[in-house]
Each structure stands twice: as C-alpha cells, then as structure tokens.
Amino acid sequence: MIYTTQGVMQRQYIQVNGDDWHHLLNAVANPPNLNNLTANQLDTYKHTNAPYAIYGTSTGLERGTSDITSRSILFIDVDDSSKDYQTNANHIATFLGAFSTNHVIYPTINNAIKQGERLRVAIPLDVELTPTEYSQVWQVLTHYLRLKADPA
C-alpha cells in the first residue's frame, strides 16, 4: 500500500492504490525543480509542500498515531559521505548489482544544499518486512556497503 502526504507538517496520510515500486520510480523520474531555492525556502517547501510517501502497511491514516507495521521498499539515506555523489552511486550500484538486486539511487532534497553528498537508495522487497526485520536488513546492508547512513 502507498501512503502519501504533502509536507512533513501534514498529519494525514492519503492512501493511494497502485504498485509501490512503480509509484516510487515515477516520483524519482519526475522530481520537482528546486534548483533556485535558498536553504530557508527549501526548508519551508519540505514542511509544507514536498511529496512524501510510505510504502508498506499502516494501522491508520493519521501521522503520529498510526504505526507502520511493515514496509515494502527499503530505503538507505546516505549523508555527508567523503566520496562524491557519482563515486558513491557507482559503489552502491556495483555492490547491489553483484547480487542482481533491483534498486534505484537518486539525490535527496538536500543534495547540493547542505554540505556533503546526499543520496537515497531504494530497494523493492519481495515480502514486506516488520520494523524489526527492516532494521536488521538495513543494518546489514549499510555495514557491508560501508555507508554513513541515516535510517529512513
């Protein structure tokens, strides 16, 4: 299932039907043009208008009171790496490609705004993972990829 919201301040999810992976790929292929925004304008955009999505299963549509009980796409947010964007992306793609793992790598909203390269890796999961399972898989991948990453 897909749950979307506009801006992090929005407290209500909208449930969207469709294929989770294709929804994400469409969003990545058609990002908003934010090239001319200042850091303050970008922060306001993130709070009020930026599209966000949860892929998996939730107990409800209210952010903050609903629990995400499982996830269908694994995300790894790579922040402030000592490597440049392309080097990091190539390293990750090579590692995941060695296991024939479907994935997409794309810049986060803060890439080129905050110091350091910022990218996100998304991997569709064959089965939805509980929060504990998701955390375990995330930890193994970031360890073997040797990434400085934030849990997404």
Domain extent listing, the chain: 2-151
Residue 97: pLDDT band with limits 50, 70, 90:
very high
Residue 72: pLDDT over 50: yes
**Average pLDDT estimate for 67-78:** 94
> Which DSSP helix (H) or strand (E) runs through 136?
helix 131-145
- Name the nearest CA neighbour of 73 among 24, 3, 8: 24
CA torsion, points 37, 39, 45, 46, in degrees to nearest 10? 140
Residue 138: pLDDT band with limits 50, 70, 90:
very high
Using CA atoms, how far residue 67 sits from 56, 57, 148, in Å, is 11, 8, 26
Name the average pLDDT for the chain: 87
